[in-house]
Structure 1
Amino acid sequence: MNPNTPKTPLPPLPRTGDDRFREALRYARAEAMLTGLAALSLHRFTAAPPAGLIDRVDVLVPRARRLRSTGRVRVVRSAEPPQPAEIDGFPVAPVPRALADAVAALTDPGTVRRLLTEAVSGGHCEPAAVVRELNRARLLNRPHVVDAVDALLAEGRSLAEDRLYAMVREFALPDPLWNVDLRLPGGPHLGGLDAYWPDQAVAVELDTRAPRQDDDALWSEYTRKREHLERLGITVVHLTPRKLREAMDQQAAVVRTALMAASDRQPAAYVVVLPR
């Protein structure tokens, strides 16, 4: 090669995801936080792209900020920005908000489904918090989001049931009848229960509702069922997935107290117990 021939310049080293995140936050300046896929990658979601593969970074800023999106930064505004977490030195939106901002820009049903189900299966948050943010962002009118939410709720219920089984086992509660329906003899259906102790007339129902448009109607149905059962002398204990995850010992104590108090109550009406 002729030594006087100019050498082809080497391509620049690829910039890291951290560099892109810093660039986006510098652009957005004060009160900004990472959201969307960038935030989910920092929350260690396996369904989110690695930080180095995220070309366009979402930043969440207060609504009053005068700031435009660019080719590398998408500006997301909020009237009431959440309190950010600090991960690897970056201010990062909480998982439910980051998910909603990511889903708003995604059209692939498989990706949306994987992100939503990982939020629950990975222990990042409860289904209700995710659905609340999706509802706030008006994303529940998109069919692929609705389908993903159904998968999310099924995953959340499955995990809550596993925790309920674990609570009974780990805290040595008497074995209940699992997943049963109650009926009056020759009468109407009283409703399904996740666990039932017939000798003590104590029932456990997992409250796995998610805040959607029909939440008031669903809560009214829960309330009517509970009141009907309690008029028959059956004690109904409502447990939420969050309480089972964060304070299982306290929930076990609530159930144990209800079982021990059975001897002080009037005998319950006779009901027929059927597998659900």
Structure 2
Amino acid sequence: MTHNTPLSPRPLRHLSEVHRRVLTTAQLRAHGLTAAEVTEQCRPDGPWQQLLPNVVLLHPGPPTSEERLHGALLYAARESSAPGVPPQPTAETPHAPVYAEAMITGLAALTLYGFSATPPLLSLDHIDVLVPRQRRLRPTGYVRVLRTPALPAPRTVTGLPVAPVPRALADAVAELTDAEAVRRLLTEAVRAGHCEPAAVVRELTQAKLLNRPHVVDAVDSILAEGRSIAENRLYRMVAEYGLPDPVWNVDLRLPGGPHLGGLDAYWPDQAVAVELDTRAPRQDEDALWSEYARKREHLERLGITVVYITPKKLRDSLEQQAAVVRTALMASADRDPAAYVVVLPR
């Protein structure tokens, strides 16, 4: 019997080729095989092999990277409510079973997302699988089990449930001591548009990784990188959507008075300002937001409209952000004139 031999009484037509090559012992029993028959097929010179506990590879020889990934998920996924019944496909993934309460994370997940700074899947010593904290599951073979109080919503990549990029980054960084490797991963995540710096910092903070100097240095680098990317998108928004040219990167002061704050773009004739909200969610987030709020309130008391835009909004909805700024510029005609302020280069 080989993986090409039909199993009964449940046919495997609804499964993709890899799902016919990697099955759990419960699934094999559902197809009519006894435990003794499975053991016989998995003998040292037999046609099958035990890939992981209760997970069988239906051919001899080394597993492919795809088989290793599916085997890891089969090992880690919560069992179906009906024992022995394989997870059923969904409308979104008609040829793949549902892996309940398990997803690929760490370096393997980043490789699936297409990161160039991660090793090939077959060269990874282990594959990280994320499961709920309460699951009783031990690491085994090439599978490393990571636990979390609340599973994030997975992304589907090549038919597999994969942790979102910021979570996968945090799980990968947790095991890396090479400062350059950490910097490359975080930089690629931001530069290639996989996620925003703030989302990365949030996950690293929750994972308590910001007490490691090499991680902090990498975070400072991606925050600077993220601001530069956001500034370029802001320049593009003004040019592509026909907004009047502002003065860029300026400080405002009252004549002979105090400094009012720096702005990324300012339209003096309309008294409209744009500021990029590039706060990173660290311990001082509340204090930093209070500073943002105080500056905004002060400027608006002077008759200056302040539009805050996040890098994520610039990435995902540039046209909509341009409309917000255009509306503020047009509305200036209906407002009382703003107080006179001095505009200085920043």
Q: TM-score, normalised by structure 1?
A: 0.93
Deviations 1:90-127 (A, max 9, x none): 11111011011111111111111111111111111111
- Note the aligned Cα RMSD (angstroms): 1.3
Return the alpha-carbon distance in structure 1 between the equivalents of residues 144 and 311 of structure 2.
34
Q: Which has the higher helix share?
A: 1
Deviations 1:219-274 (A, max 9, x none): 00000111111111111000111111111111111111111111111111111111
Return the alpha-carbon distance in structure 2 between the equivalents of residues 261 and 34 of structure 1.
49
Return the alpha-carbon distance in structure 2 between the equivalents of residues 132 and 123 of structure 1.
17
Partner of 1:175: 245
Return the alpha-carbon distance in structure 2 between the equivalents of residues 53 and 157 of structure 1.
35
Deviations 1:137-192 (A, max 9, x none): 11111111111111111111111111100100010000000001111111111110
Sequence identity, in percent?
A: 75
Return the alpha-carbon distance in structure 2 between the equivalents of residues 25 and 118 of structure 1.
26
Partner of 1:106: 176
Structure 1 residue ranges without an equivalent (≥5): 1-11
Structure 2 residue ranges without an equivalent (≥5): 1-59, 79-100
Return the alpha-carbon distance in structure 1 between the equivalents of residues 264 and 130 of structure 2.
40
Deviation, 1:14, is 5.3
Partner of 2:123: 53
Partner secondary structure for residue 252 of structure 1? helix
Return the alpha-carbon distance in structure 2 between the equivalents of residues 82 and 101 of structure 1.
13
Task: Give, as a single letter, the amino acid of the residue that structure 2 aligns with 1:128.
Answer: A
Return the alpha-carbon distance in structure 2 between the equivalents of residues 14 and 195 of structure 1.
58
Task: Give, as a single letter, the amino acid of the residue that structure 2 aligns with 1:18.
Answer: E
User: Are residue 24 (structure 1) and residue 94 (structure 2) matched?
Assistant: no
Partner of 2:211: 141
Return the alpha-carbon distance in structure 2 between the equivalents of residues 221 and 177 of structure 1.
23
Return the alpha-carbon distance in structure 2 between the equivalents of residues 252 and 90 of structure 1.
37
Deviation, 1:71, is 4.4
Return the alpha-carbon distance in structure 2 between the equivalents of residues 135 and 258 of structure 1.
36
Task: Give, as a single letter, the amino acid of the residue that structure 2 aligns with 1:269.
Answer: A
Partner of 1:7: none
Return the alpha-carbon distance in structure 1 between the equivalents of residues 170 and 157 of structure 2.
19
2:221 pairs, out of 146, 151, 160, with 151
Deviations 1:11-33 (A, max 9, x none): x9654322221232222133211
Larger RCO, structure (CA 8 Å, separation 6 or more): 1
Task: Give, as a single letter, the amino acid of the residue that structure 1 aligns with 2:72.
Answer: A
The higher radius of gyration belongs to 2
1:79 pairs, out of 141, 149, 154, with 149
Aligned partners of 1:16 and 1:51 also within 8 Å: no
User: Are residue 235 (structure 1) and residue 320 (structure 2) matched?
Assistant: no
Q: How does 1:159-198 map to 2 (within 5 A)?
A: 159-198=229-268
Return the alpha-carbon distance in structure 1 between the equivalents of residues 241 and 116 of structure 2.
33
Return the alpha-carbon distance in structure 2 between the equivalents of residues 34 and 103 of structure 1.
15
